[in-house]
Structures are given as C-alpha cells and as structure tokens.
Structure 1
Amino acid sequence: MFKTLLFVAAAAVLASAHDDAPEIKQAIAKFDGNGVAGLVKFIRLDDGRIHVTGKVTGMPTGMYGFHVHETGDLSNGCLSTGGHFNPNGHDHGHPHDEIRHVGDLGNVEFDNTKTANIDFIDPQIKLNGRHNIIGRALVLHAGTDDYGRTDHPDSKKTGNAGGRVVCGIIGIL
C-alpha cells in the first residue's frame, strides 16, 4: 500500500510538472496524526494564483510554521519529506516576499479551541509546471516561522519553525 502511494505521488508530480500538462484546478492534503487532523485545499484561481483554504484542529493556541516540502515520501514519517520546496534555490522568506522558497506558506494560527481556519492566496505555488506542489508534502511545524528574518542559524533555511508535527501528501482533488 505504502509503495503504491509513493508511486502515485511520484506519477502525479511527473505528469503535472510540465507546463503543457492538463490543467489541474484543485488539490487537497489531509493531516491526521499526533492529535492533529484537518483538510487543506488548494484551488487554482483564474489569474493562476492558488487559494489555500481549510481547517486544522489539535494544536495549542499559537502560530505554527506551514510549508510545502520537497517530496511526498512518508516512509520515515514527516522526516522523509525533505526540505522546503525550493526549486529556485532562494533563502527562506515571508509568503509575501518575491524571493523565498516556493513552499514558504508562513504560519497558521490556532485559536483557544485548538482550531486553525486557513484562508489565503499564494502567488508562487502552482498545480502544474515548475512550481507544482502535487505529490509533495504539506507540513505543520512545532514552532513559529520567523520568515528568515532573525539571526538564528536555521532562519534562512527553515524559518526556525522547529520540528515537524504532522504532514500530508498533496493530491489531485
């Protein structure tokens, strides 16, 4: 089963990696582990930007790093998803920065009911082409993303967002 999932994820990435691939309009990632659960949808808008929406529960009140990682490989849990998706080789940054990892989606905020309602638009992630996120992993981190703006040694690489709490493969909806 697991090898099949990896094959399907890899095939989805390869099939949608080309700009001339059939246009994918929606994708989804599911979180379910470490007491955290939820669904996150990625919807392609007419202007090509991606609307990210969803609901995730299970984390204490606070801000937590939220990133697309390189692979959908979950063979060693979230540790095997690689680093942040960064096809352009940039430093880590804020989601509104032009120069950033493509996978830098910033932070999500959990309220006092342990719920994060996610609703934002991202101009860099895509559902096909060079910045395609299909078959990659969406990861929720244990700490707050500093957007690459501190002196911490991990700031420019990971936003110093801490360990990986939960992850899910981004698939075609």
Structure 2
Amino acid sequence: MRHSILAMTLSVSAMLTGCATTQDEGVDGTASASAAAVLLAADGSSRGEAKVTEASDGLHIMVDARGLTPGMHAVHIHGTGSCTPPDFTSAGGHWNPGNRQHGRDNPAGMHMGDMPNMIAGADGSGQMEYVIPGARLNNGAMPMLDADGAAIVIHAQADDNKSDPAGNAGGRVACGVISGG
C-alpha cells in the first residue's frame, strides 16, 4: 500500500511538473522572447512595470501601473530606448517602422506603438493588456528592439486616437526602457 501511494505521488508530481509554465514560454505555449520595463516618474519613483512577450500573433504588452492621476492615460511604445527625466523626450516619437500616421481612428494610421488608453482608478493604479498584431521583439523586418531600442511611455492624458503625431496625449508622466529579448 505504501509503495502504491508513493508511486501515485511521484506520478502526479511528474504530471504537474510537465504542466508548469516556464519564463521563456510565450502566451501561445511556444518558446518565445520576452522583455520588460520598469516604469519611473521624473523624480525616479516607481510607476509600475510592463512586460512584452512575443507570440505567433504578435507582441503581447502587459502594463501594471501605479501612482498615476486617476483617469484616462495614453500608453505608447516609443522608438528609442531612453528615458531621461524630467520630460522623457529622449524616448523619441512613437514606434513607427511603417512610417504611418498616428491613431487607430486615423485612416492613414496607425503607428505600431499606438495602443489603447488605460484607466487609472481612484487609487492611481491601472492595468492594460494589448496585442500589437504581427510585431516582433528583435527579429523580422521591423523589430521593436532595433539598434536604438524602445521605451514604453505613459502620458498625462488620453489619446484621441486620430491626431498626428501623438494624439494630444499631453506630457509624459512615466517611462521605462524595454530590455531583454
């Protein structure tokens, strides 16, 4: 009896180990690249984290932000991996390898770095998940992590999803350099 319980325990343990997700496993279950960013305010205080995971359908962006003014905030991928305070303009414009105009509602848009707005609750925290279709982290014709890298930026206001070049989203209140991959 004791031997069969031990065998069953080892068998269940082996099955559970086989089901575990590894850090290098993408959201679609295949091995893939991932990257992350620590979001900081101009004073260096933490504003959260972002994670980027490459999958067969594109880049999955997950943002977990805190310390924001309650309300709607634009979140974009910017084309340069630099976050120099106080205004974070070192991150450059939106990631736009296809040389398109800005905004999901712009008939001539959109930048690859254009993403939906994020709502920060009364406590200043907000979460967002978005897939950039067809995008790749560091391979393909237009990788996000090219020679000068990329950054994720949270803006003070909402993106109007049509005005070029940045959707009237206001100042940059948090920035994180995307690294890894």
Dislocated runs of 4+, deviation >3 Å:
74-77
**Structure-2 change in CA distance of 1:73 and 1:55 (3 Å):** closer
| Alpha-carbon distance between aligned partners in 1 of 2:63 and 2:178, rounded to the nearest angstrom | 13
| Alpha-carbon distance between aligned partners in 1 of 2:95 and 2:59, rounded to the nearest angstrom | 16
The CA RMSD over aligned residues, in Å, is 2.5
Equivalent position of 1:68 in the other structure? 77
- Higher share of residues assigned strand: 1
**Structure-2 change in CA distance of 1:27 and 1:98 (3 Å):** farther
User: How many aligned residue pairs are there?
Assistant: 144
Q: Secondary structure at the match of 1:31?
A: strand
- Range that drifts further, 26-35 or 158-167: 26-35
Structure 2, unpaired ranges of 5+: 1-30
1:130 alignment partner AA: A
TM-score by length of 1: 0.73
Whose radius of gyration is greater, 1 or 2? Answer: 2
Contact 1:26 1:43 (8 Å CA) reproduced = yes
Contact 2:100 2:108 (8 Å CA) reproduced = no
Deviations 1:46-82 (A, max 9, x none): x231221131101122111111111113346511111
**Structure-2 change in CA distance of 1:28 and 1:94 (3 Å):** same
| Alpha-carbon distance between aligned partners in 1 of 2:100 and 2:170, rounded to the nearest angstrom | 20
Structure 1, unpaired ranges of 5+: 1-22, 149-154
| Alpha-carbon distance between aligned partners in 2 of 1:124 and 1:147, rounded to the nearest angstrom | 20
Q: Secondary structure at the match of 2:75?
A: strand
Q: Secondary structure at the match of 1:100?
A: coil
User: Does 1:30 pair with 2:44?
Assistant: no
Deviation at 1:43, TM superposition (A): 1.0
Q: Secondary structure at the match of 2:80?
A: coil
Equivalent position of 2:19 in the other structure? none
TM-score by length of 2: 0.70
How high is the sequence identity, in percent, across the aligned residues? 32
Equivalent position of 2:24 in the other structure? none
| Alpha-carbon distance between aligned partners in 1 of 2:36 and 2:81, rounded to the nearest angstrom | 13
Q: Which has the higher contact order (CA 8 A, sep 6+)?
A: 1
| Alpha-carbon distance between aligned partners in 2 of 1:121 and 1:84, rounded to the nearest angstrom | 16
User: Does 1:161 pair with 2:169?
Assistant: yes
